[in-house]
Structure 1
């Protein structure tokens, strides 16, 4: 018998549709000159939930996603179980009516040797903030860090998307001053 037929009861972040991601995040001192594939991302963190509504735009093409991120270990922000559902525009517009905190950024791909980073350049009140992320097999993976990578902020909750979206103007100013 199919495992899912027997084990139908699931908790958020568990089951065959939840993908485990282990990421590390770093501040960047400047935008690397050799990035590619820019895409504009608008994230809407739904109030009172672990849900995120995402709109990704490249030229005239748009992709809509509804996502849940759950930390298997609440004290370990580097690892999350992520479940995505792809939406059409009508579904996106319906969910967009929910109260949410918004975060806008341009994401680019940065290839460094055999490693692929994504670099997020934030907009609006977070203009000037540059973060590089890389997905790794585990959080302790040794990684050569090229310039212009600065301090690692993986374990600093202030650099998670949900926190950045909900931060007050004073909290955002402190983040930008780092």
Structure 2
């Protein structure tokens, strides 16, 4: 096939609009006192897809995103290709009619030296779960991790948004017990 045909013939997670996201994820026993800049996030994971509809609220400002996350290599759990489309409120409301599992959390920024973590504190049935994420490009594997970083869960599928949103009551209880 010629290049013109291949430019439009793409698979999910590939193409010029997909950005690679490389991160590590850790459990936290508590919210770090230095974590700041809270933003409320409601994620709606569309049933039967790899699509997420996000409402992000920072103060009085609201941003709406439609996202697809795809792992290009299942053996690399820290890497995902992410494609975002920014929506207006009417488009968001229309897509909210699709069946979805909802996840609510407050995200804060935690600056540790030259490294920036985002810390998610979950609400509802997942209250008590606190996860910290950092881009791999910012955190060398041999860096000593700050307190109160707990167990690394990057490779544990149970700590992905899609899993947590769709988890049964029993599965949520097991996650919260870790």
TM more than 0.5: yes
In structure 2, C-alpha distance between the alignment counterparts of 1:5 and 1:87, rounded to whole Å: 29
| Pair 157,114 (structure 1): closer, same or farther in 2 beyond 3 Å | same
The structural deviation recorded for 1:139 is 8.8
Which whole-Å CA distance do the structure 1 matches of 2:119 and 2:139 have between them? 19
Q: Give the match's secondary structure for 1:76.
A: coil
Counterpart mapping for 1:68-147 below 5 A: 68-137=68-137, 141-147=141-147
When normalised by structure 2's length, the TM-score is 0.94
What's the counterpart of residue 170 of structure 1? 170
Q: How many pairs does the alignment contain?
A: 176
Q: Which residue of 1 aligns with 2:157?
A: 157
Equivalent-residue separation in structure 1 for 2:22 and 2:116 (angstroms): 14
Q: Secondary structure at the match of 2:137?
A: coil
Unpaired segments of 5 or more residues in structure 2?
none
- Alignment partners' CA distance in 1, 2:54 and 2:37: 18
Please give the alpha-carbon distance, in whole angstroms, between the structure 2 residues aligned to 1:121 and 1:169: 18
TM-score normalized by the length of structure 1: 0.94
C-alpha displacement of 1:160: 0.4
Measured against aligned partners, the alpha-carbon deviations of 1:94-147 in whole angstroms (never above 9, x if no partner) come to 000000010000000000011000000000000000000001129973332000
Q: Which moved more, 1:68-77 or 1:120-129?
A: 68-77
Unaligned runs of 5+ in 1: none
Superposed CA RMSD in Å reads: 1.6
C-alpha contact 2:115 2:138 (8 A) present in aligned 1: no
Measured against aligned partners, the alpha-carbon deviations of 1:40-91 in whole angstroms (never above 9, x if no partner) come to 0000000110000000011211000000000011232210000000000000
- With 74-83 and 157-166 compared, the bigger mean Cα shift is at 74-83
3-state SS of the aligned residue for 1:7? helix
Measure the CA separation in 1 of the matches of 2:95 and 2:175: 30
Provide the secondary structure at the position in 1 that maps to 2:151: strand
Cα pair 2:157 2:163 within 8 Å, conserved: yes
Q: 1: CA distance between counterparts of 2:42 and 2:13?
A: 23
